Structure 1
Amino acid sequence: MSFPPTLKQLRYLVALHRTNHFGKAADACHVTQSTLSAGLQELENLLGTQLVERTKRSVMFTALGEEIVRRAQGILNDVDDLTDLATSAKDPLKGIVRMGVIPTIAPFLLPKIMPAISRKLPDLELHLREDKSAELCELVRSGELDLVLYALPYACGDVAELPLFHDPFLVAFPEGEAPKGGIKSTELDEKRLMLLEEGHCLRDHALEACQLLGRGARREMAGTSLNTILQMVAAGHGITLLPGMAVEAGLTEGTGVEVLPFADIVPTRTIGLIWRKTNPRASTFEALGRVIKEVGADHHLS
C-alpha cells in the first residue's frame, strides 16, 4: 500500500524551492538540515522519482520537481485557507495577519497606521515584513504572507486588489534652485531627474508619472534608497520625484533640499492592499484597509 505525501514533506519541498538552499530552507521550516534532507528523500522515495539535483554548490529542480512544487504550493495554500476560514468564521477581526510592506511606504506610513490599527482593531495582531515588491508578491502567492501594502498598479498575478488612497508626487530641488511659485509639468528637466534603481516599484510609478507629464528620466542615474537620492540632490547633482507621504513624514527635513508640488498636473501613485483571491479572510483585510484609508485621509493623502 502506498501512502500520499505528507504536508510536512510538501512544505520542505516548497521551502527548498523558494530559498534554493538546504540550510535556509531548514531554518524556514524550523527543523535541522538533516531532518529536512531526510524528509525530501522520503518524498522522492515515495513518488519513485528524483525531484532535486543536489551538488555541493547548488540546488536544481528537475522538470517534474518544478511541476510538483507548483502543485504542492496550491495544496498548502488550500490547507492554510481552511484554517483561516475557520478562524475568520469565529471572529474576522481577531487573530494574526502577516502583512508585507514595501520600503517606500513602510517607514512613512507604518508609524501612523499602527496606533490606529491597535485602537480600532485591538484583537488583530499584525506581523510585518518589509521587502521589495517582487519578493513580497512571491511571498503572498506562496502563502507566507496574507497580504501586502503596495503601491498600485503592480503585476502580481491573480490577486485581489483594494485601492485605498492616492499619494501625490512632489519635486525635490537642491537648495536655492526651486522655482518661485511652484513648477509646471512642462518645466520638469528630465535630464536632471534621478530615480531609484531597478527593482523598486516607486521607480516604475515615477516613470509613469513622467510619461503623464510628457517628460523622461535619467535612467543611468539611480539610487539604492530615497535617502541616497536626497543626498545626491542636496549636493546639486539633480532633482527627483518624492512620494508625498515621505515628505509629510519629514524625510527632507535638515537635508538642504527644497520640495515643491506641481502647479498643474498632479501625478500620483495609488496605495492599496493585495491578497490571494482564495484567501477567505477578505472581510478582515477590508476592515484593515478602511483603517489605513482613514489615516491616509487624515494626513491629506486622498
Structure 2
Amino acid sequence: MNLRDLEYLLALQEVKHFRKAAEKCFVSQPTLSGQISKLEEELGLLLIERTSRKVIFTHAGDELAAQARKILMEVKAMKDMAKSFQAPMAGPLHMGLIPTVAPYLLPRIVPHIRETFKDMELFLYEEQTHVLLQRLDEGEIDCLVLAYLPEMERFGSIDLYHESLMLALPPQHPWNAREEVELGALKGEQLLMLEDGHCLRDQAMDYCFNAGASEDTSFKATSLETLRHMVAAGMGMTLLPELAVPSAKQSEGVVYRPFCPEQPTRLISMVYRQNSVRRPCFNELAALIQKHWSEA
C-alpha cells in the first residue's frame, strides 16, 4: 500500500466513476482500476461494488476512504510544516474566495502578492461559502477570504477589513436627490437579492428585514453583476458591497448612495484550519491584504 493508492481511492469515492477518477489523478483507467484491486487484495476486503452502470462503495470502502483522507491530510500537514520551517512564504498556496469578494479584491492584491512574495505559487478558487469551508476542512485549500459568519468559530481567523454595503438605485428613483439614505427608509420597499447560497444574501436580508423591507421574489440573481444590470434596467434596488461600487456616485445607469446614520457592514476575514502550520504565512498575507484592499 502507498499514498498514491489512497489518492486513487478518494478520487473514486468522490466521482463514483473509474474513467473520471483516473482523469482526476492523471493516470490511465486500467492503472487506477488495477491499483484499487490490489488494495482490496492487500486488505482482504471488498471496497467497491462494480456494476455496468455505477460504482458503489461498500460500508468498509466508505470507512477506509474516511481513514485514507485523514492519513493524506496528516501527510500534507507534515509537508507543509517542513516548508513553513524552510521558507514560510515560498511554494504553493491554495486560497479560496467567495464570488462577492474575488472579482473586486483580487485585482487590488494579486499584483502586490506577486511582487512581495516572489517564491509563492498562488492558486485561486472561487466558490460559495459552504463549498469553500468543506474544501478547507478536507485539506484541499489552505485558507479562505470570505465574509465571516458565527458558524466559522471552529476555524482560525484573521480579520481583514469591514466593508460597507451601499444602496444601488435606478437613475429615475426619487431617492437619487439624496446624498445619503436612512436605513429606515427601506420600510415597505422590496429589494433584489442574490440566489440562495451566497452569504451576502443572508447578511443583506438581515439588514433589510430589520429595516422593514422585503425581498423581491420575482427574480434572484446569480452574481452581483447581474444584480447591477437589473438595477440599471429599472427593475428595482439592491445592496452592493463597497468594493463592487465604482468611485463615481453614478455609473453605467446605476446610482449609489451610502446609508445613514450608520452603514450596514460585513466583516471580511481570512479563515484557516485551527491547527494549520502555515499561520506565519497567513499572517504575512493578511497584513498585505489589510494594507492594499482599499486601493482603487
Distance 1:212 1:134 in 2: 25
Which of 125, 140, 143 matches 2:139? 143
CA shift at 1:189, angstroms? 5.0
1:96 aligns with 2:78: no
CA shift at 1:241, angstroms? 0.9
Q: Which amino acid aligns with 1:264?
A: P
The answer for unaligned runs of 5 or more in structure 1 is none
Cα 1:219–1:41, aligned 2, differ >3 Å: closer, same or farther? farther
Please tell me whether the aligned partners of residues 94 and 123 of structure 2 are also in contact (alpha carbons under 8 angstroms): yes
Aligned to 1:117, the other structure's residue is in SS state helix
- Could you say which residue in structure 2 is the equivalent of 1:277? 274
Trace 1:1-302 onto structure 2 (pairs within 5 A): 5-153=1-149, 155=151, 158-177=154-173, 179=175, 180-188=178-186, 191-213=189-211, 215-219=213-217, 221-248=219-246, 253-254=251-252, 256-298=253-295
How many correspondences in the alignment? Answer: 294
Deviations 1:250-302 (A, max 9, x none): 8x832x11111111231112111112223211110111011011112556xxx
Q: Which amino acid aligns with 1:48?
A: G
Deviations 1:52-83 (A, max 9, x none): 33334433333332222222111111101101
CA shift at 1:212, angstroms? 4.9
Distance 1:282 1:102 in 2: 21
Cα 1:164–1:25, aligned 2, differ >3 Å: closer, same or farther? same
Cα 1:292–1:193, aligned 2, differ >3 Å: closer, same or farther? same
Cα 1:20–1:268, aligned 2, differ >3 Å: closer, same or farther? farther
Distance 1:253 1:35 in 2: 56
TM-score, scaled to structure 1: 0.88
TM-score, scaled to structure 2: 0.90
Cα 1:64–1:220, aligned 2, differ >3 Å: closer, same or farther? farther
Deviations 1:173-229 (A, max 9, x none): 111215123211111156521111112222122223334545442355311112222
CA shift at 1:133, angstroms? 2.0
Aligned to 2:73, the other structure's residue is in SS state helix
Please tell me whether the aligned partners of residues 146 and 275 of structure 1 are also in contact (alpha carbons under 8 angstroms): yes
Over the matched positions of the two proteins, sequence identity in percent amounts to 37
Please tell me whether the aligned partners of residues 212 and 267 of structure 1 are also in contact (alpha carbons under 8 angstroms): no
Please tell me whether the aligned partners of residues 113 and 295 of structure 1 are also in contact (alpha carbons under 8 angstroms): yes
Give structure 1 regions of 4+ aligned residues with deviation exceeding 6 angstroms: none
Deviations 1:98-126 (A, max 9, x none): 11122211111101001121232222221
Please tell me whether the aligned partners of residues 88 and 281 of structure 2 are also in contact (alpha carbons under 8 angstroms): yes
Please tell me whether the aligned partners of residues 190 and 218 of structure 1 are also in contact (alpha carbons under 8 angstroms): no
Q: Which amino acid aligns with 2:94?
A: R
CA shift at 1:249, angstroms? 7.5
The answer for unaligned runs of 5 or more in structure 2 is none
Distance 2:43 2:217 in 1: 49
CA shift at 1:86, angstroms? 0.7
Aligned to 2:46, the other structure's residue is in SS state coil
Distance 1:131 1:55 in 2: 33
Higher mean alpha-carbon deviation, 40-49 vs 171-180, is at 40-49
Higher mean alpha-carbon deviation, 238-247 vs 48-57, is at 48-57
